[in-house]
């Protein structure tokens, strides 16, 4: 099955600095890579995702890059703010379809990165 | 539109007891899944369902049962609770088309004594 490794496990930055979190995956058939942010005691929430036919995607201060050949993808947060402090998870999945025609993807998550942004 | 609703939010059990964690969604999503979250291990898939009457095992299914009799509900049953099942459990749903993000419930914090 798929295996996703995430680094670093903790990341501490000063407000205004950039933060980069990296993930590697093992299944070359994986083609969807979402990133989730989880604040303390809350649910994981999607912040950005990328498909395998795209190399980079941006949304304001966050961006994700994907290198299919090397099987790794990264989350970049620029101009970090204290409210960016949270646990970030990467995930990977491959598309599947059941006999009834329902398409889905089982997510395999990385271990998480605790990001702390100091004011 | 409540999204994904999980009950209870907190539960303490004794070893050997059984219980059911509830997950309900009002988004008509085909795909529903259960994860457990443990420190340093991310979220691990327990069971999933791609529609009413269809369930399958994930990465860590032992000790858990599921059923899906309706599109809306996907309960998770602990058959005989063990301390190793102390965790935070999340239910997540997604439409029956690929590349759609999964939506998570607020979670159930479960402690087994």
pLDDT digits 0-9 by tens, B65-105: 999 999 999 999 999 999 999 999 999 999 877 778 899 99
The alpha carbon dihedral of B62, B10, B49, B16 has a sign of positive
Q: What is the pLDDT of residue B42?
A: 87
pLDDT digits 0-9 by tens, B5-53: 999 999 999 999 999 999 999 999 999 999 999 988 889 999 999 999 9
Q: Identify which of B58, B10, B8, B7 has the alpha carbon closest to the alpha carbon of residue B31.
A: B58
CB contacts of B50 in chain A (<8 Å) are: 98, 100, 102, 104
Do B96 and A103 make contact, defined as CB atoms within 8 angstroms? yes
Residue A39 exposure: Cα atoms within 13 Å on the Cβ side? 9
CB–CB of A80/A17 below 8 Å?
yes
Q: What is the pLDDT of residue B101?
A: 85
Number of helices followed by number of strands (H, E) in chain B: 0, 11
Residue A102 scores a pLDDT above 80: no
Maximum CA pair distance of chain B? 40
Q: What is the pLDDT of residue B106?
A: 97
Q: What is the pLDDT of residue B77?
A: 98
Among partner residues A34, A42, A89, which is closest to B101 by beta-carbon distance? A34
CB–CB of A94/A27 below 8 Å?
yes
CB environment A27-63: b (16+ within 10 A), e (fewer): eeebbbbbbbbbeeeebbeebbbbebeeeeeeeeebb
Q: What is the pLDDT of residue B76?
A: 98
pLDDT digits 0-9 by tens, A24-44: 999 999 999 999 999 999 999
Among partner residues B40, B96, B105, which is closest to A104 by beta-carbon distance? B96
Residue A101 scores a pLDDT above 80: no
Separation in Å, CA of A115 to nearest CA in chain B: 14
Separation in Å, CA of A80 to nearest CA in chain B: 23
Residue B47 exposure: Cα atoms within 13 Å on the Cβ side? 20
Closest-approach residue (CA) in chain B for A39: B106
Do B90 and A43 make contact, defined as CB atoms within 8 angstroms? yes
- Give the integer Cα–Cα distance in Å for A48 and B44: 20
A76: confidence class by pLDDT, cuts 50, 70, 90: very high
Residue B1 scores a pLDDT above 70: no
CB environment B47-58: b (16+ within 10 A), e (fewer): bbbbbbeebeeb
DSSP A3-65: -EEEE-SEEEEETT--EEEEEEES-TT--EEEEEEE-TTS--EEEEEEETT-SEEEETTEEEE
Residue B80: C-alpha distances to residues B17, B57, B74, B112 (Å): 5, 18, 19, 10
Residue A103 scores a pLDDT above 80: no
């Amino acid at each position: 099955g798929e295996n996703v490794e995430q680094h670093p496990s903790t990341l501490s930055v000063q407000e205004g600095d950039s933060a980069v979190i990296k993930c590697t995956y093992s299944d070359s058939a994986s083609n969807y890579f979402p990133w989730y942010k989880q604040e303390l005691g809350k649910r994981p929430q999607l912040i950005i995702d990328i498909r395998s036919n795209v190399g980079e995607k941006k949304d304001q201060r966050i961006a994700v890059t994907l290198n299919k050949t090397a099987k790794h993808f990264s989350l970049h947060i620029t101009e970090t703010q204290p409210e960016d402090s949270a646990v970030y998870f990467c995930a990977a999945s491959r598309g599947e379809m059941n006999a009834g025609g329902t398409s889905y993807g089982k997510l395999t998550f990385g271990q998480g990165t605790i990001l702390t942004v100091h004011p | 539109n409540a999204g994904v609703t999980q009950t209870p939010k907190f539960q303490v059990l004794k070893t050997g007891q059984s219980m059911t964690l509830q997950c309900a969604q009002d988004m008509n999503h085909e795909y529903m899944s259960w994860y457990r979250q443990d420190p340093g291990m991310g979220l691990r898939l327990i069971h999933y369902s791609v529609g009413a009457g269809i369930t399958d095992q994930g990465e860590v299914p032992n000790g858990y049962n599921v059923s899906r009799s309706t599109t809306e509900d996907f309960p998770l049953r602990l058959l005989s609770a063990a301390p190793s099942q102390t965790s935070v459990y999340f239910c997540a749903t997604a439409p029956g088309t690929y590349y759609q993000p999964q939506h998570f419930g607020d979670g159930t914090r479960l402690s087994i004594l």
